Amino acid sequence: MFKYLFFRAFAKPFGYLPTSMLRFLSGQKFIVPLFHTVSDVPLLHLKHIYEPIRVAKFRKDIDFFLQNYRPTHINKLLNGSVLKEKEPHFLLTFDDGMSELYNIIMPILQEKGVPATVFLNAEFVDNKSLFYRHKVSLLIEKWQNMQPSLALQNEIQALFLAEKLPFTTFAQTLIEETQHKHIPLIDALGEKLEVDFANYLVKQKPYLSLAQIHEMQQKGFTFGAHSLSHPQYSHVSLEEQLRQTQACIEFVLKYVPNSPKVFAFPFTDFEVSKDFFSYFQQKYPLDFTFGCAGLKKSEYSTHIQRIECEKGDYSMKSIINTEHIFYMLSALIGKNKVLR
Ligand SMILES: [Zn+2]
């Protein structure tokens, strides 16, 4: 929360400072930006949860990275070479396996010569099922475009109450209060409001197909795991965290052969315990894991924090400069490292 307020207050003025100077002062030469998708048309499954950046903005963002960093391939992180480089480097990553990666993002990255790593959710690949947050967006869209009867409103309020969810407004409750464990409730709301999630998957195809993934792999993209169904790990048991992670890695290894064993935490790695990391160091070793806490050190040499890059109209220079400054300020009070 503090970082969010800090960003809102200072990102724009920090955007006027030279990135090279801040990078030198922070000593952080390697960055891992994180995106989800890019679109110029409204996507109803995202509309009420976040706004994807537009194509022109994405092109500018990539140009900023190319002017200030060299692009790198994940293989150079896996063999350790990029961390020894004198020149600054960036490793581009995308989460959730959205279909615009194939249609919009791949052509731009190929034109600019930038490799990328995409983290997939096994259950979404081939549009087999819809991420519960994407369902939430579709439900809110429907709700805002209908005149629900008083009877229906009461019925829905009762459904929320039965799940002990505080009812503020339909949209606010769904966005702020629902978790992975509320998927049955979300599906029940889909039936009540006649939002056909299965039909949406068939018509809209929000996620990459395996055929698209294979073609992207041929063109130099790398794929990793992002859990089976995208729960927030701090909300599920350790056992479930291990299952979601290992089964998704197995899925990627089976269906996207020659992929590295890399995993990006769904939502955040916040409050994920040491036990999780020990399991994946000792019992089922992974090559690398990724969080999204911004520019920050980790106590594990194979765990890296990424920088979230979808922040509305803020320029990439503002976003990256603010990360460097926040890192330096946190270092002053010894808070530039994630501790578990
Ligand atoms: Zn995700």
Per-residue pLDDT at 189: 96
Per-residue model confidence as pLDDT tens digits over 83-103: 999 999 999 999 999 999 999
Indicate whether 312 and 236 sit together in one domain: yes
pLDDT below 50 — which residues of the chain? none
**Same domain flag for 119 and 254:** yes
Tell how far the Cα of 285 is from the centroid of ligand 1, in angstroms: 22
How far is ligand 1, taken at its centre, from the CA of residue 305, in Å?
14
Domain boundary among 140, 172, 201: 201
Q: How many angstroms is it from 90 CA to the middle of ligand 1? A: 20
* Nearest-angstrom CA–CA distance, 139 and 155: 15
Q: 294 C-alpha to center of ligand 1: Å?
A: 15
Distance 230 CA to ligand 1 centre (A): 6
Q: Which residues contact 315 (CB under 8 A, 6 or more apart)?
A: 15, 60, 64
Tell me what percent of the chain is helix, strand and coil, each rounded to the nearest 5: 50, 10, 35
Same domain, 225 and 191: no
Give residue 107 CA to ligand 1 midpoint distance, Å: 22
Strand partners, 223: 118
Q: According to the model, what pLDDT value does residue 166 have?
A: 84
Q: Which of 339, 336, 315 is nearest to 26 (CA)?
A: 336
Task: Specify whether 218 is located in the same domain as 237.
Answer: yes
The answer to whether residues 174 and 93 belong to one domain is no
- Give, in order, the Cα–Cα distances in Å from 270 to each of 102, 111, 261, 301: 30, 36, 21, 17
Query: What's the pLDDT at 299?
Result: 80
The DSSP output letter for 337 is E
How many Å lie between the centroid of ligand 1 and the Cα of residue 56? 23
CA 304 to ligand 1 center in whole angstroms: 16
Residue 131 CA to ligand 1 centre (angstroms):
9
Do 88 and 117 lie in a common domain? Answer: yes
CATH code: domain of residue 48: 3.20.20.370
Sign of CA dihedral 226, 230, 231, 234: positive
- Tell me: do 108 and 211 sit in the same domain: yes
Picking from 154, 174, 201, the residue at the C-terminal end of a domain is: 201
Measured at the CA of 131, the angle between CA 115 and CA 163, to 5 degrees, comes to: 150
User: Which residue range(s) make up the domain with 182?
Assistant: 132-201
Instruction: Verify that 219 and 190 share a domain, yes or no.
Output: no
Ligand 1 center from residue 46 Cα (angstroms): 12
Instruction: Tell me the torsion sign for CA atoms 117, 123, 129, 132.
Output: negative
Q: How far is the CA of 11 from the centre of ligand 1 (A)?
A: 24
Tell me, in angstroms, the distance from the centre of ligand 1 to residue 226's CA: 7
Taking the centre of ligand 1 as the mean of its atom positions, its distance from the CA of residue 27, in whole angstroms, is 28
Per-residue pLDDT at 266 = 97
User: Are 180 and 112 found together in one domain?
Assistant: no
The pLDDT of residue 1 is 74
Residue 70 C-alpha to ligand 1 middle, in angstroms? 25
Torsion (CA) 279, 282, 286, 289 in degrees, nearest 10: 50
For ligand 1, the distance from its centroid to the CA atom of residue 29, given in whole angstroms, is 25
Tens digits of per-residue pLDDT, 221-250?
999 999 999 999 999 999 999 999 999 999
pLDDT digits (tens, 9 = 90+) for 276-321: 999 999 999 999 999 998 998 888 999 999 999 999 999 999 999 9
Same domain as 86, residue 24:
yes
**Mean confidence (pLDDT) of the chain:** 95
The rounded Å distance from CA 152 to ligand 1 centre is 32
Report the DSSP beta bridge partners of residue 98: 207
Total domains in the fold of the chain? 2
**Ligand 1 centroid, distance to 80 Cα (angstroms):** 26
Last residue of a domain, one of 180, 201, 222: 201
95 and 186 fall within a common domain: no
Domain match, 263 and 241 both: yes
Report how far ligand 1's centroid is from the alpha carbon of 120 (Å).
8
pLDDT for the residue numbered 199: 98
How remote is the CA of residue 23 from the centroid of ligand 1, in Å? 28
Evaluate the CA torsion angle 33, 36, 42, 44 in order and state its sign.
negative
